Structure 1
Amino acid sequence: MAVANAAHGGYFPSKIHSLPPPLKVTGQIKQPSPPPPIYISTNPSHVNLHHLKDLYTFCNHSCHRFPIVDATGRVEAVDAGKLRTAIFHSSVVVSVFTKPEFLTTHSSPVEVSNLMGIGGDWIKRVTPVTPDNGQLIGFGRAVSDFGLTASIYDVMVLPALQGRGIGRMIVQKIVRMLTNRDIYDIAALCSDNERLFFRACGFGDDILGSTTMMYTRNSSYSIDEETLAIGRKQLLVPPLRKLLKS
């Protein structure tokens, strides 16, 4: 199901999010296609808030632990003001860009990975990707006390480019920036269907056997009656210092 562009003039092709992650076949083993040329930024000023909201929409990703979901399975739109505040207070912000020509809906995996050598605008295609000439196709962030601990949130990649290692690059970049500050207690709050991804990034179950608990207020209670509920998120932590060697 295609998603229409945002009212502010979203830049993603209207059908791009419906494309499955492309695969190429080598013999009898399916291998993921390599990612297109990308630029990975750790500068929060490179993130355009409207473009980031588009990415949240295309990835159907919510900032809330218990999001409102409509009848079609779409989560509620992210609040722009809260998103801006979250980015401002994040310890690490990683964004990934690629050029618009690498997001064509009519290209096969082979064509996408070899666009640099075809067509009349060859010079344009071989120009390195930058946040100025690229489009946002991946994102991730972390919050930290800058002394002991950190947590990773909102790792997402445009669905058409998932399965190409971009998400792992985002997580590895976040972890590297944190461990360079001597922070190794890094957690990832993830759902059950995200566990395999984070395990592939070097994370595992918390060795302390802790259970993540999320604060919530039951709407059926009065404003003064608050409850604690066990969250449906899994707490994963990377093996200490091992991820640096990957």
Structure 2
Amino acid sequence: MAVVGSVHGGYLSSKLQTLPPVKILNTQKRSIHHRRPPTPPIFISTNLSHVNPIHLRDLYSSCNHSCHRFPNIFPDGRVEPVDVAKLRIALSHSSVVVSVFARPSLPENLNTGGDWYRKMIPLTPFSGELVGFGRAVSDNGLTASIYDVVVIPSLQGRGIGRMILQRIVRLLTNKGIYDIAALCSDEEMEFFKACGFGDDILGSTTMMYSRSGNDDDDMVKSAGRKLLMVPPLKLQRKINH
């Protein structure tokens, strides 16, 4: 009969102490070590009115996530917080928003005496803390693009990001939209691949507007989050001469 538990060696008989270690216990320890932490109670909402732009800005900041392709970066490596006014406009024009709420961390003086305070108040978007978010922009007929899928660092690796992405895809496909793209960085590619995204079967690639296709036009160069208009090459030659 196998016994699961830990016993001090001094309490075992001499015969048992001489037995070699059981390898299966090491396997169990490894599986326990790599086991995903449990997901805390969460509330998932697709209601835009449940999203507070200020709280969303703070969530982006805690994840060091910027909605800009060329963000201003502080000396410590943190990105500049997104402008709340622009974020509010972006939310109002998003076709799908998915927000995730969890119970907020309580002050130490409220943790004494058990978890009764948390149990008394039901988890809702108004009593919970915004810990995850994602959105999609779509023409609501043919195509859609997914942006800004984030989860607070303390709860990453627990499947919340996958839930957000699955909910976004489900809402889009329920509308008959299957041409769904995700603009992501190299660090985010593995996450999207694990959620069913991959290279375009048509072989297309993302191209960004830069106005540099014709030397007669002004070219756009990035300088932090700002875009600078650079004179065309022909005009530069005239200026130099």
TM-score interval (norm. to shorter)? 0.7 to 0.9
* 1:38 alignment partner in structure 2: 42
Which residue of structure 2 lines up, in the alignment, with residue 186 of structure 1? 180
CA distance in structure 2 between the partners assigned to 1:81 and 1:167 by the alignment: 26
User: Which residue type is aligned with residue 140 of structure 1?
Assistant: G
> What code does the residue aligned with 1:218 have?
K
Distance in 1, matches of 2:103 and 2:119, equals 8
2:221 partner amino acid: N
Is residue 2:203 matched to residue 1:209?
A: yes
| Change over 3 Å in CA distance of 1:208–1:33 after alignment to 2 | same
Report the equivalent of 1:143.
137
Q: Distance in 2 between matches of 1:156 and 1:219?
A: 25
AA aligned to 1:33 is P
- Any stretches of 5+ residues in structure 1 without a counterpart? 1-24, 106-114, 226-246
Aligned with 1:124 (options 101, 108, 118): 118
How big is the shift at 1:27? Answer: 2.1
CA distance in 2, matches of 1:205, 1:167: 20
Question: Is residue 160 from structure 1 mapped to residue 157 from structure 2 by the alignment?
Answer: no
* Residues 77, 26 of structure 1: alpha-carbon distance in 2 compared, 3 angstrom cutoff: farther
- Alpha-carbon distance between aligned partners in 1 of 2:170 and 2:222, rounded to the nearest angstrom: 41
1:214-233, aligned counterparts within 5 Å? 214-216=208-210, 217-218=220-221, 222=229
Q: Is 1:99 matched with 2:111?
A: no
Q: Unaligned regions of 5+ residues in structure 2, if any? A: 1-26, 211-219, 233-241
For 1:88, give the aligned amino acid. Answer: S
1:162-182 superposed Cα distances (whole Å, 9 cap, x missing partner): 000000000000000000001
| TM-score, with structure 2 as normaliser | 0.72
TM-superposition CA deviations, 1:26-85 (whole Å, max 9, x none): 521211112110000000100111111100110000011122222221112101111000
Secondary structure of the 1:39 match is strand
* Structure 2 CA distance for partners of 1:155 and 1:219, relative to 1, 3 Å: closer
Q: Deviations along 1:92-122, whole A, 9 cap, x unmatched? A: 0010001113x789xxxxxxxxx9xx95342
Q: How many aligned positions are there?
A: 190
- Which residue of structure 2 lines up, in the alignment, with residue 75 of structure 1? 79
Going from structure 1 to structure 2, the CA distance change for 1:208 and 1:74 (only over 3 Å counts) comes to: same
Report the Cα offset of residue 211 of structure 1.
Answer: 1.4
Higher helix share: 2
Alpha-carbon separation, structure 2, partners of 1:211 and 1:181: 25
From the superposition, tell whether residues 211 and 27 of structure 1 become closer, same or farther in structure 2 (CA, over 3 Å): same
Percent pairwise identity: 65
State which structure, 1 or 2, has the greater radius of gyration over its C-alpha atoms: 2
- For residue 128 of structure 1, report the CA deviation from its aligned partner: 3.6
The normalised TM-score by structure 1 is: 0.71
In 1, the alpha carbon distance for the partners of 2:189 and 2:145 equals 15
Matched letter for residue 40 of structure 1:
I
Shift in Å, 1:202: 0.8
Which structure has greater strand proportion? 1
Secondary structure of the residue aligned to 1:51 is helix
What is the rounded CA distance, in whole Å, between the counterparts of 2:222 and 2:129 in structure 1? 40
> Equivalent residue of 2:131, what SS?
strand
Q: Which residue of 1 aligns with 2:59?
A: 55
